[in-house]
Structure 1
Amino acid sequence: MSGTKSIVHDQEQSRFVIYVDDQEAGFAEYSQEGNVRDFNHTVVDPAFRGQGLSKPLISEALLETKEAGLKIKASCSAVAAFVEKNPDFKELLA
């Protein structure tokens, strides 16, 4: 079951949200201090687990953060593991 995926930056809620067929499937939450976004919580709804949604979600969140000229802190274990497996993002670490 794989529907249409989209990722939206919800700046008011300080999080990136992934939608599958217009349903919220998960999010990567952050807090921002100065020019550093601390990604501290990533959740994929149990109904959507096993579809590989966290990778594109985290990737898009980090790419948008990079484009904004910001650094990251990876307090969330999922984000830390993603950065570890994708060394291109290590330069973003504050």
Structure 2
Amino acid sequence: MPDVIFQPESHAFVVRDGDDVVGRLAYHQHGDVLDAYTTWVRPDRRGRGEAAALVEALLDHARREGLTIRPSCWYVAKVMRADPKASELLAR
């Protein structure tokens, strides 16, 4: 599983390869709701689990901080639908 770096100042989680960002999940925070609006992985890095690792980092962060998630990004929504435990984190 790739190492995911939380960057609260830029409202993002990233995966790096050296100095290069090769994956990024960005969100807006509205009170206690994280609106996960985009997930991106560099094309040559796709299929390695990096996008899934970004979403898992988001879910872990939300659980730790007592936040909920609005999955505006289709990929985040897909991962959350597939994980029964993630339903407790869905913003109402």
Counterpart of 2:7 in structure 1 is: 10
Distance in structure 1 (CA, Å) of the matches to 2:42 and 2:58: 18
Q: Deviations over 1:11-31 (max 9, x none)?
A: 111011112455321011000
Structure 1 segments unaligned to the other structure (5+ residues):
none
Further displaced range: 12-21 or 26-35:
12-21
Alignment identity in percent? 33
**Could you list the runs of 5+ residues in structure 2 that have no partner in the other structure?**
none
Which residue among 38, 41, 50 is the counterpart of 1:41? 38
Structure 1 SS opposite 2:39? strand
Tell me the TM-score normalized by structure 1. 0.88
User: d(CA) in 1 for partners of 2:62 and 2:12?
Assistant: 11
TM-score by length of 2: 0.90
Corresponding residue to 1:69 among 52, 66, 70: 66
Cα deviation for residue 60 of structure 1 reads 1.2
| Higher helix proportion (structure 1 or 2) | 2
Equivalent position of 1:26 in the other structure? 23
Q: Over aligned residue pairs, what C-alpha RMSD do you find? A: 1.5
Would you say how many aligned residue pairs link Structure 1 and Structure 2? 91
Q: Secondary structure at the match of 1:57?
A: helix
- Segments of 4+ moved more than 4 angstroms: none
After alignment, is 27-36 or 47-56 more displaced? Answer: 47-56
